[in-house]
Amino acid sequence: MILSLQTGVLQYIIQFCSKCDGNYIVTHNSSPGLSIFVKRGTSNLVGEARSQAHFYDQAQRSPDAPRVVQVYEVFDDGCGSTYLVMEFISAPSFEVLIEAARSSPNHESLRTTAITKIADAVEWLMKCPVPEGDSIGPVGGGNIQHIFFNMEEAPVAFATSGALETYVNMVHSRALRAGVSHVDLSVLGIVASTRKNQA
């Protein structure tokens, strides 16, 4: 569910985040003590907002779900920038958890706990139902945005995991990376999660 923020808050966000694209933690005087997380970027954030809202809704129905942030708003400023406004959850990153574990007498226990929690969250995400009619990419349509594509959008839409696998292997064969001969997405569960789109 995407909530509408007051116009004054949106204008404040634009002003606060106007320096460059990226992530911001914003506090506004209309909600003292409450911070929001804002991503400023391109219109690709609209698809990210739809996907995030979908996983938030799924988490509300699942007692074993990890904490998923709520999307408040996604909007365009009319000057080419898109803003994705979300709930801010103050939590350490994986790197911080691992670094803290290194200096602790319980190093292995803390490290194992951190890795297990991340693995559980990824497993939960992989089990979430895909909305009817969607393929690989953002909920509601659009091309994949991923670090594999240099944090850009994929050049084409992939209707099936097989098409994505073919593309990855074509790019891989051109890059000639030593030690990897073929990428098989089924080991990541992608084939299972997109099986309805392969018919």
| Angle formed at CA 73 by CA 5 and CA 48, multiple of 5 degrees | 175
> Kind and range of the H or E element at 45?
helix 44-60
The total domain count for the chain is 3
pLDDT tens-place string over residues 161-173: 788 888 888 877 7
Same domain, 153 and 182: yes
pTM given for the model? 0.72
Task: Answer yes or no: is 173 within a domain.
Answer: yes
pLDDT of residue 168: 81
Same domain, 19 and 61: yes
For the chain, the 3-state helix, strand and coil shares in percent, each to the nearest 5, are 45, 15, 40
Same domain, 69 and 104: no
Cβ atoms of 24 and 8 within 8 Å: the answer is no
Task: Answer yes or no: is 49 within a domain.
Answer: yes
Strands 82-87, 35-41: pairing is antiparallel
Distance CA 74, CA 118 (A): 27
pLDDT of residue 75: 92
pLDDT tens-place string over residues 22-77: 888 887 666 666 788 999 988 889 989 999 999 999 999 999 899 999 999 999 99
Neighbours of 67 (CB within 10 A): 10
Same domain, 106 and 67: no
pLDDT tens-place string over residues 2-20: 445 676 778 888 888 887 7
Cβ atoms of 154 and 143 within 8 Å: the answer is yes
Same domain, 65 and 104: no
* Domain end marker among 69, 87, 105: 87
Same domain, 11 and 83: yes
Same domain, 59 and 82: yes
pLDDT of residue 196: 37
Task: Answer yes or no: is 1 within a domain.
Answer: no
To the nearest whole number, what is the mean pLDDT of the chain?
78
Distance CA 162, CA 185 (A): 8
pLDDT of residue 162: 83
Same domain, 66 and 138: no
Q: Which stretches of 61-195 are DSSP H helices? A: 94-102, 107-127, 161-175, 190-193
pLDDT tens-place string over residues 136-170: 888 888 888 777 776 577 888 887 778 888 888 88
Task: Answer yes or no: is 101 within a domain.
Answer: yes
Same domain, 117 and 141: no
| Domain assignment of residue 109, given as a range | 92-129
Same domain, 171 and 199: yes
Task: Answer yes or no: is 12 within a domain.
Answer: yes
Task: Answer yes or no: is 2 within a domain.
Answer: no
Distance CA 56, CA 69 (A): 6
In the block, tokens 């990153």 appear at 93
* Domain end marker among 87, 116, 150: 87
Same domain, 150 and 177: yes
**Burial class of residue 45 (count of CB atoms within 10 Å of its CB; 0-12, 13-18, 19+):** buried
Same domain, 120 and 97: yes
Neighbours of 46 (CB within 10 A): 17
